[in-house]
Structure 1
């Protein structure tokens, strides 16, 4: 019986030692990575270890430290970049093939309007043309007779008055037909039409259509609006306390917060001369071309007017190495098939701005150079 107990205890001791041995092996497997030395300001690492430790190569970034004025505003177009389309004479919309968002070119067909009055105008035009021809010949005859002292001055002046009066009516009706885009030459050939055609006055995008086929319209009705985006600009509102700091030609950086965080650039072109009820002054800013495809007039923008432009450079904190109260970066020196070589360069830390670390680097460094990020724990 005692012998069996002894065997059992021996078996338990064997299991405990085996478990400890396995635990020791696991500890060895998850031990911290082997650190490397920097020799003569050079640090080398294999590409295998580079990928294994999820290291990265990053660049320096420009960062503006200049003084600026913040403002808000809208993307707009100049007055000649907007067109409101109306009917010269009321009627009923017969055909309109466009939709909001369609692009149109100057002179492109927009819609046709039908009205019986158009026929009456053409009829009056033809009548005045026929009468004008008769009165012209009568005027020329009276003029010759008057010059030969055969007829009285009164008869001559009456024929002249009749001729000029009908001529004015004829020219007025002809101009009215041209405004309605009805060709007078076709009317003179007997080709009358009850439709007036409307063409686009500018090239741009259709932003509003207020009618549909069959809709009645009057001359005062806004049928359609067209906006050209060829000359977009910013209309900023700057508080009066900051206006005296502004000058034409100062740079502007702006974002569209509802769209993305991308920074766009522009330049002050005009500064308003009156203060609004909200104690702000309008500032007209030209946007640096080419324009972003998604710019739409009326978009809200947040802008920063650069008063004093001072540039610095910044880098992600993960690339900064601290050794004995000094700060360094590892600059990529050369790269082979299986290894990367970095050179240790000393830097000075500046302020931390907007979550990035400003640094002062040695002369000769530039934004194209690459720096090792995330390797601080590998270096002794």
Structure 2
């Protein structure tokens, strides 16, 4: 009990100044209280108790969650993330955007330039003109063949030439469309050296890998766009815990590097395979995600609530930790104007929402009264 002798002496002296100014009689009382402390008892007058805003409470039956602790990160579904690249190689001619810019689906992102675009359009026009002739010749040969005027060989030859040209025409037309070059404009005589790349999704630009004049190939990622209108938390749960996790279970999580708050989510999907570090991916949906400024890639510490148990508990502030042990003060007796408290070591369980479970091995009953406010003023290192 020597751990808290100095604390109680300080409180007693302070209270004696408040009451009447330090008489010899009060000094004798201080000595008496110090002696009681050394015998594992603390005595306080009701006036001292009230002036220090102390409080007594009994054991309460509380529900404590059974949790699986895990870590993860804020992420988005695959369809909300797009890496933009060019269909054909070229030099960046125009790139008006920066990281953080918000874009809409279909908005111009970059313009690329390549002389080969001209060759592609010329080839398209040539095959289009050939196709007109080959179609006419194919139809003529078919009519002659049907009337047994020409040989089957001639008919099949013109048919092959026509269908080959038709396939090439369709392929070139598709290439132009993929480059966002209008085949109709090309057919009308408008030839261009540039191709425009449009936003495939709405969102914000999170990566920009090019500048004006950069050469890009189809394998070059030009930029990344992320739509964070719907985010999720991607958690890694160890193999030993995964059987406890079920869909729709509640998740509480924190973002320790960015916030002191606690956020809510629920289990949405559970992975069906174990990766190399013996963990399984669990996908959670945050609640009220639109009200929070979550950023993709934020690290989260999460607790998945898999069950709950009822336990006897007291307010956490009623428990003081000293040298790796936990102690409480219980009301030993109440005599007139005086409270007598006794310090007891206890075994504690989990803590939740301001309460801590008291181990069943502790022999307390419904009549036991605990000092739940002001304990730190009396007990300390």
Mark the CA change 1:89 to 1:64 in structure 2 (over 3 Å): closer, same or farther. farther
State the match for 2:378 in structure 1: none
* Secondary structure of residue in 2 paired with 1:138: helix
Two-structure CA RMSD over aligned residues (Å): 3.3
Give SS of 1:198's match.
Answer: strand
From the superposition, tell whether residues 325 and 279 of structure 1 become closer, same or farther in structure 2 (CA, over 3 Å): farther
Aligned residues: 284
CA shift digits 1:272-310 (9 cap, x unpaired): 222223222211112223334421111100000011246
List structure 1 runs of 4+ shifted beyond 6 angstroms: 29-32, 310-318, 322-326
Instruction: Name the counterpart of 2:368.
Output: none
Given that residues 253 and 300 in structure 2 are in contact (C-alpha distance below 8 angstroms), is that contact kept between their aligned partners in structure 1? Answer: yes
Matched, 1:205 2:204: yes
Distance 1:242 1:267, change over 3 A: same
Looking at structure 2, the residues matched to 93 and 306 of structure 1 have their Cα atoms a distance apart, in angstroms, of 51
1:21-52 deviations in whole A, cap 9, x for unaligned? xxxxxxxx9769xxxxxxxxxxxxxxxxxxxx
1:112 aligns with 2:111: yes
Matches within 5 A, 1:187-198: 187-198=186-197
In the alignment, what sits opposite 1:283? 282
1:66 is aligned to: 65
Any idea what the Cα deviations from partners look like across 1:37-79, whole Å, max 9, x if unmatched? Answer: xxxxxxxxxxxxxxxx9x9xxxxxxx96211111100111122
Structure with max Cα Rg: 1
Q: Which residue of 1 aligns with 2:222?
A: 223
Residue number in structure 1 paired with 2:99: 100
The question of whether the paired residues in 2 share the 8 Å contact of 1:81 and 1:228 is answered with yes
Structure 1 unmatched runs, 5+: 1-28, 33-52, 56-62, 327-349, 360-373, 375-380
Q: TM-score, normalised by structure 2?
A: 0.67
Q: Give the conservation status (yes or no) of the 8 Å contact 2:76–2:296.
A: yes
In the alignment, what sits opposite 1:356?
354
Consecutive unaligned residues in structure 2, runs of 5 or more: 1-16, 21-50, 54-61, 319-329, 335-347, 358-372, 374-381
Tell me if structure 1 keeps the 8 A contact 2:252–2:263. Answer: yes
Superposed CA deviations along residues 222-256 of structure 1, whole A, max 9, x for unmatched, are: 11111121221111111211111111121111010
Residue 265 (structure 2) aligns with: 266
* Secondary structure at the counterpart of residue 222 of structure 1: coil
Query: CA contact under 8 A between 2:235 and 2:281: conserved in structure 1?
Result: yes
